[in-house]
């Protein structure tokens, strides 16, 4: 089991990634033009809601990372980690 300090660091990292995903989703939805992200085009508002719900879940005590993993996994299919 992770220490409280490790959990806090992990939570902060996940929240930072979710915020970046939120901003990217907002930018993709802003133009109104189709992108090369067909799933985002079709489901942009529900993706944004899932990201925000994941942020809320990660912010809880204890944090819940399940939805964050699911949301990031959907992006990782086309955008592998570097």
pLDDT digit string, tens, across residues 13-41: 999 999 999 998 888 777 667 777 777 77
Total number of domains constituting the chain: 1
Please check whether residue 45 lies inside any domain of the structure. Answer: yes
Q: By residue range, what is the domain housing residue 49?
A: 4-76
Please check whether residue 82 lies inside any domain of the structure. Answer: no
Residues 55/11, Cβ–Cβ less than 8 Å: no
pLDDT of residue 17: 94
pLDDT digit string, tens, across residues 47-75: 899 999 999 999 999 999 999 999 988 88
The overall pTM is greater than 0.85: no
pLDDT of residue 73: 86
Q: What angle do CA 5, 13, 7 make, to 5 degrees?
A: 25
Please check whether residue 37 lies inside any domain of the structure. Answer: yes
Q: What angle do CA 68, 73, 75 make, to 5 degrees?
A: 105
Please check whether residue 81 lies inside any domain of the structure. Answer: no
């Amino acid at each position: 089991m992770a220490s409280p300090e490790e959990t806090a660091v992990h939570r902060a990292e996940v929240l930072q990634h979710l915020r970046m995903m939120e901003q990217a989703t907002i930018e993709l939805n802003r133009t109104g033009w189709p992108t090369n992200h067909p799933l985002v085009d079709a489901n942009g508002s529900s993706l944004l809601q899932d990201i925000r719900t994941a942020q809320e879940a990660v912010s809880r005590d204890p944090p819940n990372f399940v939805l964050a993993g699911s949301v990031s996994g959907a992006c990782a299919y086309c955008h592998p980690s570097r």
